[in-house]
Amino acid sequence: MRFLMIGMGGTIASVRGSEGYESALSAEEILKISGIKTDHEIEFLDLMNIDSTLIQPSDWVKLAEEVYKRAGDFDGILITHGTDTLAYTASMLSFMVRGVNLPIVLTGSMVPLMEKNSDAPFNLLTALKFLESRIPGIFVAFNGKVMLGVRTSKVRTMSLDAFESINYPIIAKLIGDRLSVLYRPKLDPGKTKLDTRHEPKVLVLKLIPGLSGDIILKAIEVGYRGIILEGYGAGGIPYRNSNLLQVISEISSEVPVVMTTQAVYDGVDLMRYKVGRMALRAGIIPAGDMTKEATVTKLMWILGHTRKVEEIRELMRKNMVGELTRVS
């Protein structure tokens, strides 16, 4: 089999410098130092070599264009990436490159490859084993688990088990050197399409007691095109001693306001409580059970295609690449 390995940087590529760890290793060096032996033909491409905190939407476009251009020449693509924004990249790549007919797997590490007890070799092995499965789609491999990219979130800052599959089954697990496929995603592989249009001017606000709607008005004033609110639990907007609900009611016909949750699992259900139903009447668009990363990248992608709120509402409520099970 023939694989492409794309290096993006991150902890897996980092070495200790005078100001802490910094990305330096090439994709080829990463695989060589990991000690993993493979009979597969692997081509290497260093697209960038940066800490993933520095990733910007323009980098997603660059990656998506490269994946689309090269996908037909390989049986699988492995992307090494820093962990901090890996889930965002996996999600946006899922929207920008659709209908893929080969496995594309992102991975990284919590401990630099050059350090003792690095998790990089295990994560790389997991990714490579999954590429052999030929299951098409965009995935994340980490700590022996393979997860659908658009359903993956980073939930731990130090643990080697940093990522979880949110509201969706784990696709596969590596046990020893044997990969066990647990679930095959119900995706629609076909003719691969590239569509990188997006609008990065999306603001995420965490709902806290005392949050004023004035910040939303200011965000719109300075050019933000979409607002995402991380609500409490199942979701809702405070209306007692707050102008937040009133402001949303006033602007929601012109600017999309999406509600996700600060909780990790289960998503929002705006029909459950009065505060949620009032939010719906104010024009809030529920994110359902999407991850925070998928909610952000999907709204950015949709805003690149339309500014009409009713069209945005319809598309946000539609399962496009496996990111959404339910909306309520």
Residue 328 has pLDDT above 90, yes or no: no
Nearest 5°: phi and psi at 261?
-125, 150
- Which amino acid does the sequence have at 47? L
CB 16, CB 118: distance < 8 Å: no
Report pLDDT digits (tens) over 36-75: 999 999 999 999 999 999 999 999 999 999 999 999 999 9
- Tell me which residue of 297, 264, 266 sits closest to 87, measured CA to CA: 297
Per annotation, catalytic residue among 80, 83, 107, 260:
83
Unique residue bearing structure tokens 């997991």: 126
Distances (CA, A) of 231 to 205, 313, 326: 9, 18, 17
Report the percentage of the chain scoring pLDDT > 90: 93
Identical fold between 2-194 and 202-317: yes
pLDDT in tens, 158-186: 999 999 999 999 999 999 889 999 999 98
| CATH architecture for the domain at 202-317 | 3-Layer(aba) Sandwich (3.40)
Which residue from 293, 206, 217 is spatially nearest to 249, judged by alpha carbons?
Answer: 217
- 187 vs 232, higher pLDDT: 232
Average pLDDT over residues 99-114: 96
**What pLDDT does residue 18 have?**
77
Does the annotation count 325 as an active-site position?
Answer: no
Residue 86 in this model has a pLDDT that exceeds 90: yes
> What average pLDDT score do residues 232-252 get?
95
pLDDT tens sequence across 299-325: 999 999 999 999 999 999 999 999 999
CB 322 within 8 A of CB 293: no
Tokens of 158: 């130090």
19 confidence band (pLDDT: 50, 70, 90): confident
The DSSP-derived string for 65-87 is: HHHHHHGGG-SEEEEE--STTHH
* Residue written as token pair 């993006």: 8
Domain boundaries, the chain: 2-194, 202-317
Four-way CATH pick for 2-194: 3.90.650.10, 3.40.640.10, 3.40.50.1170, 3.40.50.1110 = 3.40.50.1170
Those residues whose C-beta lies under 8 Å from the C-beta of residue 205, and which sit 6 or more positions away, are 211, 215, 216, 227, 228, 229, 230
- Distance separating alpha carbons of residues 176 and 229, to the nearest angstrom: 42
- Integer angstrom CA distances of residue 166 from 50, 234, 235, 242, 291: 27, 15, 17, 32, 7
Rounded to 5 degrees, what are φ and ψ at 133? -70, -20
Are residues 103 and 137 in contact, defined by beta-carbon separation less than 8 angstroms?
yes
The tens digit of pLDDT for each residue in 260-301 reads 999 999 999 999 999 999 999 999 999 999 999 999 999 999
Spatial contact of 263 and 233, defined as CB atoms under 8 Å apart: yes
pLDDT beyond 90 at 20: no
Count the Cβ atoms, other than its own, within 10 Å of residue 317.
15
Write out the E strands in 143-254.
Answer: 145-148, 152-154, 163-165, 172-175, 178-181, 193-194, 202-206, 226-231
Q: Give dist(CA 90, CA 85) in Å, integer.
A: 9
Ramachandran region, residue 265 (left: φ > 0; alpha: ψ -120 to 50; beta: rest): beta
The pTM for the full model equals: 0.96
Q: Tokens in use for 320?
A: 């496009």
Q: Are the CB atoms for 141 and 106 separated by under 8 Å?
A: yes
pLDDT (0 to 100) of residue 189: 64
